[in-house]
C-alpha cells in the first residue's frame, strides 16, 4: 500500500522525524525557515498531509486553488490561530493540534518570567556581565515580593491551571481568574481561586496578571492601553499565550511611563520582529518563544501529531481535531 505523502514544514526533534519517516513518505524542510503562502498553496497539491507550526501562516488565500491533495493539517502546537480553519473546512480538510503535552512547560516559563521581572533578574545579569556590579548594598536592585501576592490569570484552561498550581502551592499566591466560560467550583477550589466575570474586574485587583487565553482575531489586542491603565501602578503583565493578545505599542508606553511595574513576554505579535521601543525597556524581560522548549515536550508534541495522523489515515476521527 502506498504511504501517505507528508510535508513537515520545520525541523522537528530527531526521534520524531525518524518515526515519521518509518510510517509515511516524508519530506522535510531542510532549510528550517518558514514557508511562504505560495509555497504552502503549492504544497496543497502535492501532499496528503501538511504539518505546520505557528510560523506558517495559512490564510484563506492558501486554500484558494482548483483542487487540493491535502486532506489534513496536523498542527505542531496547541494554538491554531495561524490557520484559517473555516477555509480548511470548506475544502474538506481536517485540522488538528497538540493540547495537553505542553501545559506544564509553558507554565514553567510563565513563572520564570514572573520571577525574573519581579526580582529584576534581567537587570542584575546585565549588570554582572557588563562589569558594573560594585558589590552588595541595602538599596541595590530592589524588586517586588512574589510570595503571597495576588495573581490574575486570564484564560483558565490547562495552562492557566498549571500556572495556578505553581503560584498557589509554590508561592502562596492568591488566585483570581477570568475565563470565557464558568469554571467548575471544584476546579476553582483546588487552587483557592475566585472567578470574576470580566477582565476589567480582574485587572485592578492583581499584583501580577498572566495571560493564558487563545490568540486570533477575537483576542487581538485584548490588553490595550485602556486595560493597562486599569492595572495597579506596580503590577506586572506576563504573556506566554500569543503575541497578538497584547497591543505592543500600548505596552511599551505603559513601561516607559511607569504606569505598570513591568512585564515579561515570551511571544510577540510579529515574530521574530520585536519593536525597538520594547527592546529598550529595562522593566521588561523577554524570551524568544521558549514556552514548550524542552526536549521532552517538543518530542511529545511531535508524537501527538503522529497519533493524530495515524488515526486519520486509519479512517478514525483524530482525538485532537479542531476543524
Known catalytic residues are 242, 271, 289
Q: Which pairing describes strands 174-178 and 194-195: parallel, antiparallel, or unpaired? A: parallel
Of 35, 80, 98, nearest to 62 by C-alpha is 35
Q: ∠ CA 191-244-266 to the nearest 5 degrees?
A: 60
3-class state of residue 26 by DSSP: strand
What does R_g of the chain's alpha carbons equal in angstroms?
21
How is 109-143 classified by DSSP, letter by letter?
Answer: HHHHHHHHHHTTHHHHHHHHHTT------TTTT--
Q: How many CB atoms lie within 10 A of CB 59?
A: 13
Contacts of 36 (CB under 8 A, 6+ apart): none
In this structure, the chain runs to a length of 323
Check: CB of residue 153 under 8 Å from CB of residue 160: yes
From residue 216, alpha-carbon distances to 72, 83, 242, 246 in Å are 21, 9, 8, 11
Amino acid at each position: 500500500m502506498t504511504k501517505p505523502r507528508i510535508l513537515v514544514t520545520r525541523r522537528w526533534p530527531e526521534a520524531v522525524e525518524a518515526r515519521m519517516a518509518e510510517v509515511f513518505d516524508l519530506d522535510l524542510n531542510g532549510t528550517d525557515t518558514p514557508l511562504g503562502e505560495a509555497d504552502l498553496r503549492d504544497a496543497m497539491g502535492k501532499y496528503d498531509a501538511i504539518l505546520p507550526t505557528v510560523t506558517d501562516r495559512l490564510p484563506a488565500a492558501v486554500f484558494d486553488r482548483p483542487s487540493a491533495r491535502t486532506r489534513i493539517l496536523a498542527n505542531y502546537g496547541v494554538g491554531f490561530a495561524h490557520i484559517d480553519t473555516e477555509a480548511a473546512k470548506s475544502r474538506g480538510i481536517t485540522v488538528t493540534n497538540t493540547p495537553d503535552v505542553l501545559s506544564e512547560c509553558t507554565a514553567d516559563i510563565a513563572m520564570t518570567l514572573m520571577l525574573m521581572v519581579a526580582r529584576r533578574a534581567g537587570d542584575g545579569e546585565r549588570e554582572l556581565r557588563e562589569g558594573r556590579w560594585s558589590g552588595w548594598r541595602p538599596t541595590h536592585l530592589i524588586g517586588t515580593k512574589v510570595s503571597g501576592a495576588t495573581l490574575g490569570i486570564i484564560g483558565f484552561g490547562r495552562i492557566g491551571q498549571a500556572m495556578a498550581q505553581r503560584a498557589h502551592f509554590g508561592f502562596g499566591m492568591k488566585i483570581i481568574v477570568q475565563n470565557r466560560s464558568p469554571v467548575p467550583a471544584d476546579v476553582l477550589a483546588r487552587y483557592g481561586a475566585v472567578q470574576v466575570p470580566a477582565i476589567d474586574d480582574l485587572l485592578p485587583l492583581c499584583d501580577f496578571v498572566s495571560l493564558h487565553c487563545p490568540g486570533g482575531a477575537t483576542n487581538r489586542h485584548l490588553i490595550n492601553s485602556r486595560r493597562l491603565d486599569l492595572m495597579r501602578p506596580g503590577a506586572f503583565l506576563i504573556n506566554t499565550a500569543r503575541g497578538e493578545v497584547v497591543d505592543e505599542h500600548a505596552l511599551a508606553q505603559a513601561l516607559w511611563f511607569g504606569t505598570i511595574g513591568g512585564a515579561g513576554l515570551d511571544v510577540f505579535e510579529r515574530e521574530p520582529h520585536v519593536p525597538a521601543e520594547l527592546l529598550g525597556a529595562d522593566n521588561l524581560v523577554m524570551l524568544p518563544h521558549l514556552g514548550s522548549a524542552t526536549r521532552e515536550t517538543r518530542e511529545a508534541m511531535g508524537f501527538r501529531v503522529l497519533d493524530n495522523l495515524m488515526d486519520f489515515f486509519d479512517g478514525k476521527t483524530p482525538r485532537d481535531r479542531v476543524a
